[in-house]
Amino acid sequence: MDHITVKAPATSANLGSGFDVFGIALQIPYDIIELEPQDVTEIKVDGVGRDLISTDPAKNTAGITASELGCNAKITVHKGIRPCSGLGSSAASAAGAALGLNELFGLRLSENELIRAAVKGEKVVSGAAHADNVAAALLGGFTIANGENVIQLEPPDIGIVAVLPDISVETRAARSILPPKVSLEDLVFNVGNASSLVIGMVTGNLELIGRSMQDRIITPVRSKLIPCYEDVRESALEAGAAGATISGSGPAMIAVCEFDRRGEIADAMVGAFNRNGIKSEPFITRPGSGAEIVKGSE
């Protein structure tokens, strides 16, 4: 092939209780990534937040992924996922590049090998090599990433509302404030909720999923980076959400709900941000598929 185009989805990591482990792919928003072979890797970026993204292949998630795979290509990333959003923007670029390069150059790599390469790119942005967003972006659905061991589950077709406020939270900053130690009581609480959230995904129990998103370790600290976090969360729950929390490192917030309640929950969350003087953009969505090739040419 001499040209290939990949669609790579936004993702939401953690889901409250599953820090650095859980991820879920979203149907919208998404990136479109075009790749074609050339002698030296070149990165071009357009779309939302393009000024925040380096085009240096050594500092760009897609460029680093290409280097890890031993491929040189012209990579054009059309961003639909804003950087520093908590919606897996860097992971989408890395995952999309990994999938596209594997097909473009006939590498025949396994899913785990592609995830490992994409995680190298993700580390540049977050400062830590973790596969929660990358695994979900590549495989789709709900993923459990424990080091290099990744399990993918098909989640129930639930409603998801992601609301992105007009503020930025850098992933490195969000990681720098995490507590170095946690109490045994809080650890047990989170392990219990993470376990029951998985059961909720397997059985399609929306109420259990929502209740299990509660977190006593990460969210209480990171919520301080999001003005009016509690107001937005409570507004989502009052409007009918089964659960609501920070998406990834934020500032986006995510709620899970019955499919037909998404519109009113989105309005409630946007309204809460508005009351506090913050503009926001809602994404009314659902669990999505992983990165996919949408166009290729011989």
Q: How many CA atoms lie within 13 A of 257 on its CB side?
A: 24
Residue type, 235: S
How far apart are the C-alpha atoms of 39 and 214, rounded to whole Å?
49
Residue bearing tokens 């400062």: 127
Residue bearing tokens 């993700």: 122
Determine which one of 122, 143, 219, 245 is catalytic. Answer: 122
CA nearest to 141, candidates 284, 12, 242, 244? 12
Give the residue ranges of DSSP H helices in the chain: 61-69, 89-104, 111-126, 132-139, 171-176, 184-203, 206-211, 219-222, 229-238, 262-275
Q: Is-catalytic flag, 122?
A: yes
Q: Is-catalytic flag, 185?
A: no
Determine which one of 61, 171, 219, 245 is catalytic. Answer: 171
Per-residue DSSP letter, 53: S
Residue type, 136: A
Which tokens hold the place of 123? 């580390």
List residues with catalytic annotation: 122, 171
